[in-house]
Amino acid sequence: MEHSSLAGRIFRGVALTLILIFFMFPIVWIFLMSFQTNEQILRIPPRILFEPTFANYEALISGQLRTAAGNLQISFMRNLFNSVVLSSAAVLLALLLGVPAAYAFARFKFRLGESIAFTLLSFRFAPPLLVLLPLSLYYQELGLNDTYFGIVWVYQLIALPLILWIVRGYFEDISPDIEHAYRLAGHSWREAFTRIAVPLAGPGIAAAGLLSFIFCWNNFVFALILASADKQPVTVGALAFVTASGIQYGQIAAAIVLSVTPTLLLALYAQRYLVEGLSLGAVKG
Amino acid sequence: MARLEINSVSKAFGAARPADGLSLAVEPGEIVAVFGPSGSGKTVLLRMIAGMFEPDDGDILIGGRSVVGAPPERRGIGMAFQNFALFPHMTARDNIASGLRASGNEVARRVAAISKLLKIEHVLGHAPRELSNGQKQRTALARALIGNPDVLLLDDPLRNVDAKLRYEMRLELPNLLRRGTAAVLYVTQDYREAMAIADRIAVLIDGRLAQVATPADIYAQPASVAIARLFGDPTINLAEVSPVAEHGMLSAEVAGARMRLAAADGTASLGSCWLGVRPEDLAVSSASSDGAIPARILAITPMHEKAVLLLRLADGTEWLAALPPDAPQGAADDGVFVRFASDAAMLFDRATGLRIGASPRLKAA
């Protein structure tokens, strides 16, 4: 790990800086764009120095989009709220279903166990567009079209396999003896699960939950097809900025900043668990 | 006060049979060591008693009631694991208290009492990762002991602690375990530990109990050559012999010398046998005499409390002799003569490995 040579250290610093600039620049640029008007953005050449404006954010929050063709009603804040509700509910449901399932797959050998686990994982293999058409037909029949529950359910395709497979690795890493010891101390298996297995797999459960939250948040096509305007999340809601009178770059940038912020804060806060969790689960003896 | 009774218990995992008709009873307050080479089924036996898996056949009774099929938490068992199995997210205090369902004051009082006994009062607030292996083991023992279980199962608890601590614990454990009235089953791979701690030793070989007896009996009167080889360091010396009876005495030719073995019990001839003599029962001298085996010293290992000599007998067999350090030993490559008392010789049937007859030592015991 320790590269003590000066040349090595300089090279490493330069390389890290280049990579950082490459990946961070779009974010910085979007951030700057969100404080500019469409005219300022489309100016050639672009300028770093400009008169900042909060008009974009005002438009988003008030829901009034002013374009050359006139005022337009948008429901961005509603979309943001939808995103929070949908992603949280989806992850919560996936944790409730996935963590006990992961425990079962880790601890017990049962008929078709591996096949069921793999089938759940294979849901991630199919391109979403492929399953969407039949799914939307089902949903219309079942009356799930354009309901929060329907979208939360379809989000299980994203969240459940992820949680199941990450958390399963964690449970497998816990020595069964620890749970046996707890049971011999006079506790039922349910207590051993909630007081020993779940707390010990805690970092893994947190990491899996966070990852699936981000994946759900970023999903676009499920909600595009299966929900109408008042149930759509920000990813779909941003389409509203492509208007008849042109693309509202400023508002799009502001919308992106607003929609990225929650996941970014969450990821920064949980970064430690995320890295520790994912690597701990992956490295096994 | 409950007796642990294991009745012809069998368990198979595929082709392996780690338990093959095991029967054993442990009285309340008794310590029985289950000793055997690795893979002989010791841990499987313990785990069947603890309820981690059920026997295919046979019954396990605690206090006269069958526990087969009962969940582990209802069996009244305390257990200490080889890998400690402490709960990593709890302090030592919470680990120890995890088995108690009592009021806060009562829990505090009993945790204090048991941790004082095990000398871990000063680390009760620490998490398991902050404890040394010795402290971890003591915490695990405290956790197993605190509920005053009917049956105490100890799965090689000293395996992962260092040598000094192992000696200390060997001295402390018997007192600690006899404090209550639990029936104690102590699994170990170390024959010294079994002999130091147990009232009786159950020797487990390939899923069967080869012998159950007191430590002294097992050492002096092993039921088979396999058991004789498991106990003793250096291991027992063996030679292939065909004993014959003359004038009421059994004798056999060992490397060209005729050695008297024991009084013949009317048997004229025993056929092919293993002769076993413990290294500490050998005497080595430079003077020839009747009934001495000529040998050559190949190497001497001084071990302070004793000296171990590697000898090559006239027929090429290699034997070990353990002598007091101050006994005259000679030097490597010296020619010497090896003697042993007739009652120190054990005879084992060549085909079955079982010990033959009652040696004079058995009659004396």
| Of the partner residues A176, A187, A200, the one whose CB lies closest to the CB of residue B73 | A187
Is residue B234 reached through a cis peptide bond, with omega within 30 degrees of 0 on the bond before it? Answer: yes
Q: Count Cα atoms within 13 angstroms, Cβ side, for B51.
A: 27
Q: Which CATH superfamily is domain A76-282 in?
A: MetI-like (1.10.3720.10)
Domain residues of chain A, as ranges?
6-73, 76-282
Q: Which residues of B214-251 are buried (b: 16+ CB within 10 A; e: fewer)?
A: ebebbbbbbbbbbbbebbbebebbbbebebbbeeeebb
Output the pLDDT for position B30. Answer: 92
Say yes or no to pLDDT of A56 above 70: yes
- Picking from B344, B322, B220, the residue whose alpha carbon sits closest to that of residue B275 is B344
For residues A215-241, give the mean pLDDT: 85
Say yes or no to pLDDT of B132 above 50: yes
What torsion do the CA atoms of B209, B210, B214, B215 make, to the nearest 10 degrees? -110
A189–B contact, CB cutoff 8 A:
yes
For an interface test with A, the pick among B53, B73, B81 (most A C-beta atoms closer than 10 Å) comes out as: B73
For residues B334-353, give the mean pLDDT: 86
Q: H-helix or E-strand containing A122? A: helix A113-122
A188–B contact, CB cutoff 8 A:
yes
For residue A58, give both structure tokens. 């005002």
The band of A282, judged by pLDDT with boundaries at 50, 70 and 90, is: very low
Say yes or no to pLDDT of A136 above 50: yes
Say yes or no to pLDDT of A281 above 80: no
Output the pLDDT for position B50. Answer: 92
Q: What is the per-residue pLDDT across B68-79, written as a single tens digit (0 to 9) for each?
A: 989 988 888 999
Output the pLDDT for position A216. Answer: 92
Output the pLDDT for position B363. Answer: 39
Q: Write down the ipTM of this complex.
A: 0.81
The answer to whether the Cβ–Cβ distance between B83 and A200 falls below 8 Å is no
Q: How far apart are CA B300 and CA B297, in angstroms?
A: 7
Q: What is the per-residue pLDDT across B27-36, written as a single tens digit (0 to 9) for each?
A: 998 999 999 8
Q: What is the per-residue pLDDT across B13-27, written as a single tens digit (0 to 9) for each?
A: 888 888 888 999 999
Q: What is the per-residue pLDDT across B142-164, written as a single tens digit (0 to 9) for each?
A: 999 888 889 999 998 888 888 88
Using the structure block, give the residue that is written with the tokens 């030097």. B331
Q: How far apart are CA A8 and CA B95, in angstroms?
A: 48
- Residue B43 or A276, more confident: B43
For residues B253-263, give the mean pLDDT: 81
Report angle CA A205, A208, A212 to the nearest 5 degrees.
140
Positive or negative, the CA dihedral B216, B218, B220, B226 is negative
The answer to whether the Cβ–Cβ distance between A185 and B89 falls below 8 Å is no
For an interface test with A, the pick among B98, B151, B153, B154 (most A C-beta atoms closer than 10 Å) comes out as: B98
Output the pLDDT for position A15. Answer: 94
Using the structure block, give the residue that is written with the tokens 């009873």. B25
Q: Across chain B, what does the average pLDDT equal?
A: 86
Report angle CA B350, B35, B117 to the nearest 5 degrees.
160
Nearest CA in chain A to B153: A184
For residues B197-217, give the mean pLDDT: 92
Q: Long-range contacts for A18-22 (Cβ within 8 Å, ≥24 apart)? A: none
Nearest CA in chain B to A178: B85
For residue A37, give both structure tokens. 């008007």
Q: Count Cα atoms within 13 angstroms, Cβ side, for A61.
A: 6
B308, B234 in Cβ contact below 8 A? Answer: yes
- Residue B262 or B88, more confident: B88
User: Which range among A143-152, A226-235, B65-74, B108-117 shows the weakest confidence by mean pLDDT?
Assistant: A226-235
The answer to whether the Cβ–Cβ distance between B89 and A186 falls below 8 Å is no
* Residue A246 DSSP SS3: strand
- Give CATH for domain B4-223: 3.40.50.300
Q: Which residues pair with B79 in a beta bridge?
A: B153
- Give CATH for domain B237-364: 2.40.50.140
Q: H-helix or E-strand containing A44? A: none
Say yes or no to pLDDT of B265 above 70: no
| Of the partner residues A175, A186, A196, the one whose CB lies closest to the CB of residue B73 | A186
| Other beta carbons less than 10 A from residue A29's beta carbon | 14
Output the pLDDT for position B199. Answer: 93
Decide whether B4-223 matches B237-364 in CATH topology.
no
Contacts of A180 in chain B (CB under 8 A): 50, 52, 72, 79, 81, 85
Output the pLDDT for position B267. Answer: 56
The answer to whether the Cβ–Cβ distance between B87 and A181 falls below 8 Å is yes
Say yes or no to pLDDT of B361 above 50: no
Terminal CA-CA length for chain B = 31
Q: Across chain A, what does the average pLDDT equal?
A: 84
| Of the partner residues A175, A184, A200, the one whose CB lies closest to the CB of residue B73 | A184
Say yes or no to pLDDT of B250 above 60: yes
For an interface test with B, the pick among A184, A188, A194 (most B C-beta atoms closer than 10 Å) comes out as: A184
Q: How far apart are CA A269 and CA A273, in angstroms?
A: 9
Output the pLDDT for position B17. Answer: 86
Output the pLDDT for position A193. Answer: 93
| Of the partner residues A178, A186, A200, the one whose CB lies closest to the CB of residue B101 | A186
Q: What is the per-residue pLDDT across B160-185, written as a single tens digit (0 to 9) for each?
A: 888 888 888 888 888 888 877 889 99
Output the pLDDT for position B359. Answer: 46
Q: What is the per-residue pLDDT across B295-309, written as a single tens digit (0 to 9) for each?
A: 999 988 877 788 888
- Picking from A103, A97, A135, the residue whose alpha carbon sits closest to that of residue A212 is A97
B102–A contact, CB cutoff 8 A:
no
- Residue B25 or A239, more confident: B25
Domain residues of chain B, as ranges?
4-223, 237-364
Terminal CA-CA length for chain A = 22
User: Which range among A201-205, B182-186, B246-250, B267-271 shows the weakest confidence by mean pLDDT?
Assistant: B267-271
Say yes or no to pLDDT of B249 above 70: yes
Output the pLDDT for position B266. Answer: 55
Q: How far apart are CA A273 and CA A59, in angstroms?
A: 37
For residue B191, give both structure tokens. 């024959």
Q: What is the per-residue pLDDT across A71-125, written as a single tens digit (0 to 9) for each?
A: 777 788 888 899 999 999 999 999 999 999 999 999 888 888 888 888 888 877 8
User: Which range among A24-28, A66-70, B89-93, B159-163 shows the weakest confidence by mean pLDDT?
Assistant: A66-70
Nearest CA in chain A to B145: A185
Output the pLDDT for position A284. Answer: 36
Say yes or no to pLDDT of B200 above 60: yes
